[in-house]
Structure 1
Amino acid sequence: MLLILSFTASAVSISAAKKKPDASLLTLDRIFVKREFNARGYSHQWLKGSDYTRLENADGGGKNIVRYRGGREKGEVMVPATDLIPSGSTTPLEIGRYSWSKDRSLLLIYNNSKRVWRTNSRGDYWLLDRSSGELRKLGGDAPASSLMFAKISPDNRNVAYVRDNDIWVEDLIHHKVCRLTEKENNGVINGTFDWVYEEEFGIRDGFRWSPNGESIAFWQIDENPVRKHTMIDNLVGLYPKTIEFGYPKVGQQNAYCRIGVVSVKHAAVHWINTSSDLQNNYIARMDWADNSESLLIQKLNRLQNTNEVILATVHGVKSTQFVPPTINRTVRPFPREARTSTTTGKEAPGEHVILLEGDKAWVNVRDETHWINGGKQFTWTSERDGWRHIYLVNRDGGKPTRVSSGHMDVIRLLHVDEKAQLIYFIASPKNPAERYLYAVGIDGNNQRRITPASEKRGTHSYSISPDGKLAFVTSSNADTPPVTMLVSLPEHKQIRVVADNDSLKKKVAKLKHRPAQFIYVDVGKRQKLHARLLSPPNFDKKKKYPLLVYVYGEPAGSTVRDSWGRSSHMWHMMLAQQGYFVITIDNHGTAAPRGRAWRKSIYRRVGIDAPKEQAAAIKKLLKDRPYIDPKRVGVWGWSGGGSMSLNAIFKYPEIYSMAMAIAPVPNQRHYDTIYQERYMGLPGDNVEGYREGSPIHFAHQLDGDLLIVHGTADDNCHYQTFEKLVDKLIQHNKPFTMMAYPNRTHSIREGRNTTIHLFSLMTRFVQQHLPAGAK
């Protein structure tokens, strides 16, 4: 028996050795379970000057906060993990995020966080006084994981945070907790935002300390007029649970929004007069205007084609009491005192419109204001000359002065080094798929590329130190994992490599694959679309292979990037190994750096022009590359890309024989006001555009294999729209495949094995309906 067991074990080991996984091949397990191809980054937090901190493992458990001075390779422990052990505990706090007081004597730690829509923005906060060593939890009697956006005041006297949709302040000397705002009902939100503001303007933290620490400016949202959307959680227990939240669909009522300033000492609120119509204007950005006396506010009209930049004086503004009038409906307007108009040309007292940004299509809201010259000017980006450039705006208004130049887009303004009189920004004048660092003098002279010319391709992202002397640069391309280096600026001299991803590079080097090709596809009328193409290794040009198109196509993003991709890119590489061509194309209207006309051409025609142009590109590709099989062309996308995939197979069945639509919006009338109206206008003014752009109206034309997937807890693109599409397909007796992921959100990633399950489903569908390999 022992001999037999020994022999059996040896046989098993020999068999296992024979079945050792092939390192040259990608698998779903390697990509989505083991995540072998996820790149390692270098997390850091700039402190002051050229110093930064990092979280590093402590010998006894927990994390030390380690300080690195300038370009030094060796750090010093600034806050040991032992200082972060609460009273009565033996283990250090887990650190989700941390921040410092201005003089770094106080450390604020955030942990035990819970998800609110997209991010974990509600949790617990702890404060460490580094001089006394006192560590205590903030919030008084607040329930666990109930505080949001805690910030230490500039004078170190208080900490403010949002709790239960109100702003609270905690005295750091006497430990007294005070509620600064008092919402009238559950529909009023102070210091944070409703669903649509968070999703479409990218803002969650809704309050700002004044530089002197005496006041707090904040957004107030009243979403009582907004109709509720309902989701059902069938997994919660014996009976299902309903979840309701305000979601303004196109053409419907928005929330009211206004800006208040509350005194920390007196808890008195002053309301800033920004509009006579608080429901049909958006306050997209607000912050202190480099002092404690005035605010810089960006106000958009509902169509979002006008941005009024308002300089509002805080002191001297008439205080208005928040008392609702007696009315015969549940929706309460804001008080009349807060309704002074600025849209008629008559500015409210204490207000001054210093810049008016307009566009025939829409204006973009960006976080690129940096005050310079003692608060007399600030930076601004605008497309007013046809390209996105940097401008300087005077505090008292007047015509903006352009700083950057050329037929190129400033992709992002990164840093202003006033001492060196330089502005750093990201651009890529020659190739829209790439990203490089540029600099220009504040006076508009000596614009130049900072990323070395030796870097001939790829994406280079930068994190610049407060003094502008150092930067972490992460460089990658579609075939090469990222490397992160510390460099000096402006000479871009390498100091050291901090993350090389060497082991990942070795894994990638063993893979069977062809380098990604970046090509232009001529779609006629002197228009060329940029594309990224993956090809099967060692394919035979005399044979024919299937093609899978990955698409997004909407104004909120682009897909043709020369950078190391996420798991979905590795999945595309896996399909290429199996004998597929995989392409992604940026059509007109995507957020590519190709000028204003390129991006805005899609206005009022989302879902109409893009699928037509994508189809034209595929026709051209089939003509130019006879080794791609015209009978095996499929398309897939997520969210807006899911909608595009539906439009593709419904409207162009002669091209696409298969489509996979993940979390799509089949009917644009069901999406939110801010996003859809920005690009399509109001539905009453563009009835035909909304109909033509919505794939549900063309479901009767389905003549191929369709997979539609949705999460039932998708708060963004609702499961309701999925069911409406399913019903429409049934009405037309169209065969299709569907998958509903219970209680999963728009990302369809919650729960054990969800991601691997989804991509396994997609892989089987592709293999079944677009058979792999040469024919």
Structure 2
Amino acid sequence: MKKIFLSAAIVVSAALFSQQITLEKIYSGYYRGKNIAGIASLKNGENYAVIEPGGIAKYSYKTAQKEGNIVDGKFSSYIFNEDESKILLLKESEPIYRHSFLGKFDVKDLKSGKVLSLNNGNYVQEPTFSPDGTKVAFIADNNLFYQDLGTEKITQITTDGKKNSILNGLADWVYEEEFGHAKLYEWTKNSDAIVYVKSDESEVPEMYIPIYNKQLYPSEMRFKYPKAGEKNSVVSAHLYRLDSGKSMALNLSSFKNYYIPNVIQTKKADEMILITSERIQNASDILKINTKNGSVTKLFTESDDKWVDTENVTMEFLDDNSFIWGSERDGNRHLYWYDQNGKLKKQITKGNWEVVDYYGFNPKTNEVLIRTTEKGSINKVVSKVNINTGKSVLISNGEGNNSADFSKNYNYFIETSSSAKKPYTFVLKDGNGKVVRELQNNDEQLKKLQQDNFIIKEYFTVPNEAGDQMNAWIMKPKNFDPNKKYPLFMYQYSGPGSQQVTNSWDTGNGLWFSHLVQQGYIVACVDGRGTGGKGTKFKKVTYMQLGKYEIEDQIAAAKWFGKQSYIDKDRIGIFGWSFGGYMASLALTKGADVFKTGIAVAPVTNWRYYDTVYTERFMRTPQENPSGYDDNSPTTYAKLLKGKFLMIHGTADDNVHYQNALEFAEGLIQNKKQFEFMTYPDKNHGIYGGNTRPQLYQMMTDFLLKNL
């Protein structure tokens, strides 16, 4: 009897063990969810387009039924001209950096059916229809062109473009990475002129990266990369008028002009906006350009005692050329309404919460459509706010991570929602937030995960030594025993304005964390000072000493966890990537008495090696603030390393250079510290391709099982 019972127990145990989230399942695509790609409202406001395997499909908002394909074929992106008589189709692409890519595009006339291969079928960058739909501007070989869609004639606007030297209408590496876009030109509203930025990067120091790729002799990737305190591109703004065929330089000498990150079209035919700043990014000039004569006037200056966020710019012009502007000036990011001359009319949104995204303005109801944290900093919800009365109406789910794609007339929107418990759903709603119908869910994905004992995050707060309550989540085993001591594995990113603690479906490391919990770990994440969602005071306290308060808060969080009855304080590990890798490196040095194990992937190890725009925004230059750089470098504390440390880096990382890992490695070596170091040949900051990710995550799992 006893023998039979034991055998049955073994069978049951084996069955339970098999119902787990495994790395094999994660990377086979077994848990992959469904999506709706390329959602865009059509001009009539009654139909929307999506990308499907067979082409660009047209759907009805009212019925959610497909009404056929707008174009047939396989395309990865599309852009309509303003009256939707033509469509620009991306057929083939080749990545350059994070946002930029070379593409081959077709322009199809949807009335005649005529197809034109842009630039004779050669690669271009950043193609854009003129507002009247008769032309497409584009960049090729760092020069700006436009092509007439009627005559097919190509006109070259600039001629001095040269790789690693001159860029016209195109961002250089650091602009693209840190201001968030590659395009630096725009058509005027009446299609008679283009305002563009020229970047002279000839004096910017050059970074070179060896590319091995099974070659007898490695080749080199060379590009301009301005590190903190070094020379940036010299930028200038230019006006090109189609009638004269000539460009003129715009005189910005009376204004801030070191950076020109934004070119914005207004509602007026002969007007354009430039947003500029000095090297110290604590003030931005908003400049109005007269595109008839090139004169420049200042509307206003946005300033801050620390920094102005020039990456996440909100500026939309209304029909009377007044405009909506996003600012953090009252301690949270909110919307402001200015008249066409730059005079403030009123603050539109107020409260101890933030506007995360701006979707548009409905002139029929005088309402702005926005995404906010008004239901708590870990949630993102969609609301409409009347710009005259300030009245706000919630139109999305009240919790979780919600976003919206609105119809052109704002009568409908497609809500994309998720939470820690539920993967993405796509629901069609009317303009008041009433559900019309569900378009897509991921119940099948969730069912598979539930069958494999998927772990759901719990949310709470953890105190730091400054008296703040820091947002946190925790993942505990299904059979959690509060009287048992578990090893703790902490994850974080911690970079300025970032958020890892959100009530949303985790498409990053979430499944791996579930796998680790099933191996007997508790996994937790804490957003300390410097992170977003909780106002500027909490976010900007790290100014001039990046890393100092962030690591203090991770150490404080680890100590707090260590005092909980269910955590083994002698078995606490930490993991992070990029800025998170920087933090993990500091944790195993400055926090060596608290953390037993750490994994740092692609870490910054000295901010002197990172780029100008990002680093100086938060730290100023090394020449101005040397202690801010050196006092918060893990290399400075290499002698303190005690625990088991694994550092991982790709040799072709164009963002956080392999040099960072090598410097820290040398610091550890010279202090006679033992550690593990994994190099990924020819891999960039994302470290992926082929079997790279499965191998990486298996290695990290094995490291933890052995050392934590």
Whole-angstrom distance in 2 between the partners of 1:202 and 1:688: 29
Structure 1 segment 259-298 matched on structure 2, within 5 A: 259-275=237-253, 281-298=258-275
Instruction: Give the letter for the 1:354 counterpart.
Output: L
Does the residue aligned with 1:684 lie in a helix, a strand or coil? coil
Query: Which residue does 1:496 correspond to in 2?
Result: 437
Corresponding position: 1:721 with 2:660: yes
Q: Which of the numbers 632, 641, 646 marks the counterpart of 1:693? A: 632
Does the residue aligned with 2:355 lie in a helix, a strand or coil? coil
Instruction: Give the letter for the 2:50 counterpart.
Output: R
Corresponding position: 1:224 with 2:202: yes
Q: Which of the numbers 466, 483, 487 marks the counterpart of 2:425? A: 483
- Residues 180 and 264 in structure 1, CA contact (< 8 A), matched pair in contact too: no
Instruction: Give the letter for the 1:66 counterpart.
Output: A
Relative distance call for 1:127 and 1:182 in structure 2 (3 A) is same
- Residues 184 and 261 in structure 2, CA contact (< 8 A), matched pair in contact too: no
Corresponding position: 1:51 with 2:47: yes
Query: Which residue does 2:528 correspond to in 1?
Result: 587
Query: Which residue does 1:763 correspond to in 2?
Result: 701
Corresponding position: 1:156 with 2:133: yes
Measured against aligned partners, the alpha-carbon deviations of 1:379-427 in whole angstroms (never above 9, x if no partner) come to: 0111211221110012212335201122221222222112111112112
Q: Which of the numbers 333, 344, 360 marks the counterpart of 1:415? A: 360
Query: Which residue does 1:75 correspond to in 2?
Result: 66
Whole-angstrom distance in 1 between the partners of 2:340 and 2:251: 19
Query: How far does residue 66 in structure 1 lie from its aligned partner after superposition?
Result: 2.4
Name the stretch that deviates more: 94-103 or 579-588: 94-103
Measured against aligned partners, the alpha-carbon deviations of 1:504-531 in whole angstroms (never above 9, x if no partner) come to: 1211222324531111112244321110
Relative distance call for 1:131 and 1:426 in structure 2 (3 A) is closer
Query: How far does residue 663 in structure 1 lie from its aligned partner after superposition?
Result: 0.3
- Residues 588 and 595 in structure 2, CA contact (< 8 A), matched pair in contact too: yes
TM-score w.r.t. the length of structure 1 is 0.87
Measured against aligned partners, the alpha-carbon deviations of 1:599-644 in whole angstroms (never above 9, x if no partner) come to: 1111112111110111112212221x12100111000100000000
Query: How far does residue 430 in structure 1 lie from its aligned partner after superposition?
Result: 4.4
Corresponding position: 1:31 with 2:26: yes
Query: How far does residue 151 in structure 1 lie from its aligned partner after superposition?
Result: 2.1
Query: How far does residue 690 in structure 1 lie from its aligned partner after superposition?
Result: 0.7
- Residues 38 and 566 in structure 1, CA contact (< 8 A), matched pair in contact too: no
Instruction: Give the letter for the 1:269 counterpart.
Output: S
Measured against aligned partners, the alpha-carbon deviations of 1:56-88 in whole angstroms (never above 9, x if no partner) come to: 34xxxxx2332223322222224352xxxxxxx
Query: Which residue does 2:577 correspond to in 1?
Result: 638
Corresponding position: 1:424 with 2:369: yes
Q: Which runs of 5+ in 1 are unaligned?
A: 1-17, 58-62, 82-91, 318-349, 771-775
Instruction: Give the letter for the 2:318 counterpart.
Output: I
Whole-angstrom distance in 2 between the partners of 1:297 and 1:664: 35
Does the residue aligned with 2:358 lie in a helix, a strand or coil? strand
Query: Which residue does 1:390 correspond to in 2?
Result: 335
Superposition RMSD in Å: 2.1
Corresponding position: 1:616 with 2:561: no
Whole-angstrom distance in 2 between the partners of 1:364 and 1:627: 41
Instruction: Give the letter for the 1:493 counterpart.
Output: K
Does the residue aligned with 2:623 lie in a helix, a strand or coil? helix
Whole-angstrom distance in 1 between the partners of 2:693 and 2:369: 38
Measured against aligned partners, the alpha-carbon deviations of 1:712-761 in whole angstroms (never above 9, x if no partner) come to: 11000001121111111111111010111011000001x31011111111
Query: Which residue does 1:104 correspond to in 2?
Result: 84
Query: How far does residue 42 in structure 1 lie from its aligned partner after superposition?
Result: 5.0
Measured against aligned partners, the alpha-carbon deviations of 1:252-295 in whole angstroms (never above 9, x if no partner) come to: 011011221212343200222223698x7211211122223121
- Residues 551 and 585 in structure 1, CA contact (< 8 A), matched pair in contact too: yes
Query: How far does residue 225 in structure 1 lie from its aligned partner after superposition?
Result: 1.4
Whole-angstrom distance in 2 between the partners of 1:556 and 1:236: 40
- Residues 23 and 507 in structure 1, CA contact (< 8 A), matched pair in contact too: no
Structure 1 segment 671-690 matched on structure 2, within 5 A: 671-690=610-629
Structure 1 segment 503-652 matched on structure 2, within 5 A: 503-591=444-532, 593-623=533-563, 625-652=564-591
Does the residue aligned with 1:310 lie in a helix, a strand or coil? strand
Whole-angstrom distance in 1 between the partners of 2:465 and 2:288: 47
Relative distance call for 1:184 and 1:654 in structure 2 (3 A) is closer
Relative distance call for 1:149 and 1:236 in structure 2 (3 A) is farther
Relative distance call for 1:371 and 1:23 in structure 2 (3 A) is farther
- Residues 139 and 170 in structure 1, CA contact (< 8 A), matched pair in contact too: yes
Q: Which of the numbers 312, 316, 332 marks the counterpart of 1:370? A: 316
Identity %: 30
Instruction: Give the letter for the 1:28 counterpart.
Output: L
Query: Which residue does 1:351 correspond to in 2?
Result: 296
Does the residue aligned with 1:232 lie in a helix, a strand or coil? strand
Whole-angstrom distance in 2 between the partners of 1:42 and 1:670: 37
Query: Which residue does 2:10 correspond to in 1?
Result: none
Whole-angstrom distance in 2 between the partners of 1:276 and 1:720: 40
Corresponding position: 1:66 with 2:4: no
Query: Which residue does 1:329 correspond to in 2?
Result: none
Corresponding position: 1:252 with 2:252: no
Name the stretch that deviates more: 253-262 or 268-277: 268-277
Whole-angstrom distance in 1 between the partners of 2:581 and 2:455: 27
Relative distance call for 1:192 and 1:742 in structure 2 (3 A) is same
* Bigger Rg, which one: 1
Name the stretch that deviates more: 204-213 or 597-606: 204-213
Name the stretch that deviates more: 501-510 or 728-737: 501-510
Relative distance call for 1:513 and 1:537 in structure 2 (3 A) is farther
Corresponding position: 1:127 with 2:107: yes
Measured against aligned partners, the alpha-carbon deviations of 1:155-210 in whole angstroms (never above 9, x if no partner) come to: 23222111101011112222222211111654110121110000000011222122
When the two structures are aligned, how many residues end up with a matched partner?
695
Corresponding position: 1:188 with 2:134: no
Measured against aligned partners, the alpha-carbon deviations of 1:582-613 in whole angstroms (never above 9, x if no partner) come to: 1111101112x211111111111211111011
Name the stretch that deviates more: 96-105 or 221-230: 96-105
- Residues 650 and 702 in structure 1, CA contact (< 8 A), matched pair in contact too: yes
Corresponding position: 1:307 with 2:307: no
Corresponding position: 1:441 with 2:437: no
Instruction: Give the letter for the 2:55 counterpart.
Output: N
Measured against aligned partners, the alpha-carbon deviations of 1:445-504 in whole angstroms (never above 9, x if no partner) come to: 31232225xx4x311111112211111111211121121100001x21111111111211
Query: How far does residue 239 in structure 1 lie from its aligned partner after superposition?
Result: 1.2
Whole-angstrom distance in 2 between the partners of 1:110 and 1:40: 20
Does the residue aligned with 2:119 lie in a helix, a strand or coil? coil
TM-score w.r.t. the length of structure 2 is 0.94
Relative distance call for 1:42 and 1:171 in structure 2 (3 A) is closer
Whole-angstrom distance in 2 between the partners of 1:197 and 1:473: 32
Whole-angstrom distance in 2 between the partners of 1:131 and 1:506: 46
Instruction: Give the letter for the 1:174 counterpart.
Output: T
Query: How far does residue 30 in structure 1 lie from its aligned partner after superposition?
Result: 1.0
Whole-angstrom distance in 1 between the partners of 2:255 and 2:325: 26
Query: Which residue does 1:460 correspond to in 2?
Result: 402
Relative distance call for 1:449 and 1:105 in structure 2 (3 A) is closer
Whole-angstrom distance in 2 between the partners of 1:647 and 1:632: 17
Instruction: Give the letter for the 1:106 counterpart.
Output: K
Query: Which residue does 2:395 correspond to in 1?
Result: 450
Whole-angstrom distance in 2 between the partners of 1:76 and 1:702: 63
Query: How far does residue 360 in structure 1 lie from its aligned partner after superposition?
Result: 1.0
Query: Which residue does 2:183 correspond to in 1?
Result: 205
